[in-house]
Amino acid sequence: MNKILITRKIPQKFIEQLEQIGDVVMWDKELTPMPRETFLSEVKDATACFITLSESVDEEVLTEASDLKIIANMAVGYDNIDVVRANDHDITVTNTPDVLTETTAELGFTLMLTVARRIIEAERYVQEGQWQSWGPYLLSGKDVHGSTVGIYGMGGIGRAFARRLKGFNTRILYHNRTQNPEAEKELDATYVSFETLLKESDFVICTAPLTPQTENQFDSKAFNLMKNDAIFINIGRGAIVDETALVEALRNHTILGCGLDVLRQEPIDVNHPLLKLDNAVIVPHIGSASRLTRDRMVQLCVNNILAVLNHQLPITPVKVNN
């Protein structure tokens, strides 16, 4: 009999689907990750594993999990999994691309507008009773319309973000691992070097995955190249940003502000200096957090597990080069 391990609490309707092919063992908490020790213990005899970004699948896990056939990761990114070693162990790894693209782009756009128009500061200003009168420049922000927007990472989410700019009469620049002629034609976007993107953009949006090439890409040098009234938005991965350099850039007004959905360490420490800055807006990795999209992500994980355990091809396998 198959044992299917699920490391976060998900709705019963999905559990029932998996119970048709195996015994389901689920961590019963939605907001608290399964402890590492528990994960290692439970994965030992699991046939399938439904995980989130909170779980790290390394050689220790793969060695223990001798019966494992599939790891279904509830995310697009898979930097929490050693995919090459998993494949060496004949374990299929799947992710959840496409189903969260539009929702994540919407969150990125929300962050851009929120930081640009200083919404968090303005709401706090009212709540704290500081609003005494209208002022000509009270909480004045930055226009998105007519601006230059640079997108770092023109994959699905980057393109979805760019589509949302059409009504704002913006100039769209992008930098990607490879040039994307289709995106250029569809979006009227211009491919530029990373340095040019930083120098010319009023808004810099990071949607890139974490790879050895993108890690720490936004460092002191990058922020120093940006305009001093530029706004930086990250909906990619936290480790793409040198957070010490970002804090310095915000404190010194090297850039105007930032909006972050992802951090190097999640959850962020309550004493992190970013949380003490008025020009930083931080949300708890909610890029794909609409009910419909999260349901679709869970269902895709379930469908991948059902396919593999029924000796069929996975729907969205992760493929990497050795």
| Residue 237 a catalytic site member | yes
pLDDT at 320: 82
Q: Are residues 105 and 90 in the same domain?
A: no
pLDDT at 99: 97
Provide the b/e sequence for 210-220 (b: ≥16 CB within 10 Å): beeebeebbee
Q: Which positions of the chain have pLDDT values less than 70? A: 322
Would you put residue 118 in left (φ > 0), alpha (ψ -120 to 50) or beta? left
pLDDT at 322: 59
Q: Are residues 229 and 295 in the same domain?
A: no
The verdict on residue 77 lying in a domain is yes
Contact 68, 293 (CB under 8 A): no
Return d(Cα 273, Cα 270) in angstroms, integer. Answer: 9
Return d(Cα 39, Cα 33) in angstroms, integer. Answer: 10
Return d(Cα 204, Cα 298) in angstroms, integer. Answer: 31
Q: What is the pLDDT of residues 10-31, one digit of tens each?
A: 999 999 999 999 999 999 998 9
Strands 203-206 and 92-94: what pairing?
unpaired
What domain range is 267 assigned to? 98-280
The verdict on residue 103 lying in a domain is yes
Task: Classify burial at 112, counting beta carbons within 10 Å of its beta carbon; exposed 0-12, middle 13-18, buried 19 or more.
Answer: buried
Look up the CATH number of the domain holding residue 56: 3.40.50.720
**The residue to which tokens 């959850």 are assigned:** 267
Q: What is the pLDDT of residues 223-242, one digit of tens each?
A: 999 999 999 999 999 999 99
| Residue 296 a catalytic site member | no
Q: Are residues 7 and 49 in the same domain?
A: yes
Please pick, among 237, 248, 253, 264, the residue that the annotation labels catalytic: 237
Q: Are residues 9 and 42 in the same domain?
A: yes
The secondary structure of residue 241, as a DSSP letter, is B
The verdict on residue 296 lying in a domain is yes
Q: Are residues 104 and 222 in the same domain?
A: yes
| Residue 266 a catalytic site member | yes
Q: Are residues 225 and 106 in the same domain?
A: yes
Q: Are residues 84 and 42 in the same domain?
A: yes
pLDDT at 241: 98
Q: Are residues 270 and 295 in the same domain?
A: no
Output the pTM of the full model. 0.94
Please pick, among 118, 159, 175, 285, the residue that the annotation labels catalytic: 285
Contact 316, 97 (CB under 8 A): yes
Q: Are residues 197 and 214 in the same domain?
A: yes
